[in-house]
């Protein structure tokens, strides 16, 4: 399958505007500037992009797509060790950044100042669909970050499936303030807008007041956020009510706590759409714009996606809505493997070709999926029971004093593991919280230990880093 160089970006759309912070470009001018980048980097093995929330990042990434050169988004807040690993592992021999925005270090790739390049230039007319468009690095919670090879056709398939599921059209105005180095903010939030043809308003940072302003001043109709964003929107009722005129609120990158779902629905009049994805899979499950939206669930498979659940021994798990198992996927938006890691790539797939997500889920008879958590941190085996951390977290979050909660399994001499909670709360004590959960869930699911903490460790996407709990 061969795709023209610009195919990932969709067909030309008159009047489409891309804005990041205070700066905006019409689509035609953005593509002209990106063509100048493409001419500069043509023939490179890979290029890194200092992925700040800026138009320069958008221009640089689009330039890589036009040139058919794999793009490696580099988190702007990455430490020197992480940065050196990504640059060295990816083989990026150029680094695209705005002049003065990136501090070079010894041995770094040459810097190409995106904001000083002239527009125009010849771009590659045809690029194979299976060619790598992006090399996205995992968070590295289980070792050094791995480079995930995402093809052009995977991006196109994933975005088209979402456009159908969310009834996303050029008439929408997409609003978000998410980082531009992950699937959510970059692939969905920038390339999605370009492919569909909808204007984009990136707020710089995902602040409740900025979302409210975009709704009122820019006609924002489609809003993306992670649970932390939506929690902060709910904490600002006036900002939340400003979103009542929107068409769709979408939450992802981490489970949306049920109390936040319900509060958001109450304030905005919108039951948010939840969806599920990974760097390796893009988005594969979602509620639909015109369908049901259930708190605690991530919906149904997107077109072309197949799912199944497997027990630890590989045997099938019934779709009864209760029995958890590891979620396996087959889909056209799957990644092409881990860069230079054939063994890790092979281990990520079952012998019959299904991708092992490492996430524990339950699937109902009607096909609705509920993510329990990561197999490595969120499936707690206590006294012969299998307990999903997410269910206990939602029970804790229902307590009026609890603002944040994270649950893990910790060693126990009799039970094997015990349910241990880390909670950010105002005026609640340990025993009261244990009793609160015991009143709502089975007795074996109650936390045996509750640690009251000032904050939970989170990464750039707002996900709690459970490996840092108790450290």
DSSP per-residue string spanning 195-239: HHT--EEE-SS--HHHHHHHHHHS---EEEE-HHHHHHHHTSHHH
- 157 with 298, same domain: the answer is no
Last residue of a domain, one of 374, 409, 438: 374
Spatial CA neighbour of 391 closest among 429, 427, 362, 430: 362
pLDDT bracket for residue 461 (50, 70, 90)? low
Which pLDDT score, from 0 to 100, does residue 121 have?
Answer: 74
- Tens digits of per-residue pLDDT, 295-343? 999 999 999 999 999 998 899 999 999 888 999 999 999 999 999 999 9
- 363 with 383, same domain: the answer is no
Q: Indicate which CATH number applies to the domain containing 140.
A: 3.40.50.12780
Domain count, the chain: 3
pTM for the model stands at 0.84
Residue 13 lies in a domain: yes
- 6 with 140, same domain: the answer is yes
Arithmetic mean of pLDDT over the chain: 90
| Structural domain of 418 | 379-468
Residue 276 lies in a domain: yes
Residue 20 Cα distances to 194, 220, 464, angstroms: 14, 14, 27
Last residue of a domain, one of 154, 183, 205: 205
- 195 with 52, same domain: the answer is yes
Distance CA 269, CA 68 (A): 43
- Tens digits of per-residue pLDDT, 164-187? 999 999 999 999 999 999 999 999
Which pLDDT score, from 0 to 100, does residue 471 have?
Answer: 58
- 331 with 431, same domain: the answer is no
Last residue of a domain, one of 374, 398, 428: 374
- 345 with 391, same domain: the answer is no
pLDDT tops 90 at residue 215: yes
Average of per-residue pLDDT across 15-34 = 94
Beta carbons within 10 angstroms of residue 98's beta carbon: 19
């Amino acid at each position: 399958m061969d795709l023209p160089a610009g195919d990932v970006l969709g067909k030309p759309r008159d009047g489409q505007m891309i804005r990041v912070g205070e700066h905006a470009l019409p689509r035609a001018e953005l593509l002209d500037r990106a063509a100048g980048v493409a001419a500069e980097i043509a023939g490179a093995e890979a290029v890194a992009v200092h992925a700040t929330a800026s138009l320069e990042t958008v221009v640089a990434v689009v330039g890589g797509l036009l040139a058919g050169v794999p793009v490696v988004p580099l988190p702007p807040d990455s430490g020197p060790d992480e940065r050196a690993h990504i640059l060295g592992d990816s083989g990026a021999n150029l680094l695209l950044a705005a002049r003065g925005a990136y501090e070079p270090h010894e041995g770094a790739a040459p810097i190409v100042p995106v904001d000083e390049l002239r527009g125009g230039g010849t771009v590659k007319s045809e690029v194979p669909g299976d060619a790598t468009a992006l090399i996205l690095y995992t968070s590295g919670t289980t070792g050094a970050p791995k480079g995930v090879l995402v093809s052009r056709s995977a991006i196109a398939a994933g975005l088209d499936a979402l456009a159908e599921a969310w009834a996303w059209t050029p008439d929408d105005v997409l609003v978000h303030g998410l980082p531009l180095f992950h699937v959510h903010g970059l692939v969905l939030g920038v390339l999605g807008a370009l492919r569909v043809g909808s204007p984009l308003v990136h707020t710089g940072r995902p602040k409740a007041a900025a979302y409210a302003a975009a709704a009122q001043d820019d006609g924002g109709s489609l809003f993306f956020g992670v649970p932390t964003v939506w929690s902060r929107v709910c904490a600002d009722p006036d900002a939340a009510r400003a979103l009542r005129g929107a068409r769709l609120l979408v939450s992802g990158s981490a489970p949306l706590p049920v109390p936040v779902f319900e509060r958001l629905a109450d304030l905005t009049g919108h039951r948010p759409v939840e969806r599920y994805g990974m760097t390796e899979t893009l988005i594969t499950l979602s509620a639909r714009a015109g369908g049901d939206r259930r708190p605690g669930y991530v919906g149904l498979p997107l077109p072309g996606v197949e799912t199944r659940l497997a027990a630890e021994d590989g045997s099938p798990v019934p779709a009864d809505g209760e029995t958890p198992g590891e979620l396996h996927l087959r889909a056209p938006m799957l990644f092409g493997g881990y860069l230079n890691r054939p063994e890790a790539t092979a281990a990520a797939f079952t012998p019959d070709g299904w991708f092992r997500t490492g996430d524990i889920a339950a699937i109902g008879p009607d096909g609705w999926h509920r993510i329990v958590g990561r197999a490595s941190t969120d499936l707690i085996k206590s006294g012969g029971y299998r307990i999903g951390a997410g269910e206990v977290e939602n029970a804790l979050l229902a307590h009026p004093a609890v603002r944040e909660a994270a649950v893990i399994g910790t060693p126990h001499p009799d039970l094997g593991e015990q349910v241990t909670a880390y909670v950010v709360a105002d005026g609640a004590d340990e025993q009261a919280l244990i009793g609160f959960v015991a009143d709502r869930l089975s007795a074996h699911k109650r936390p045996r230990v509750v640690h009251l903490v000032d904050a939970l460790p989170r990464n750039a996407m707002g996900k709690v880093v459970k490996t840092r709990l108790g450290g």
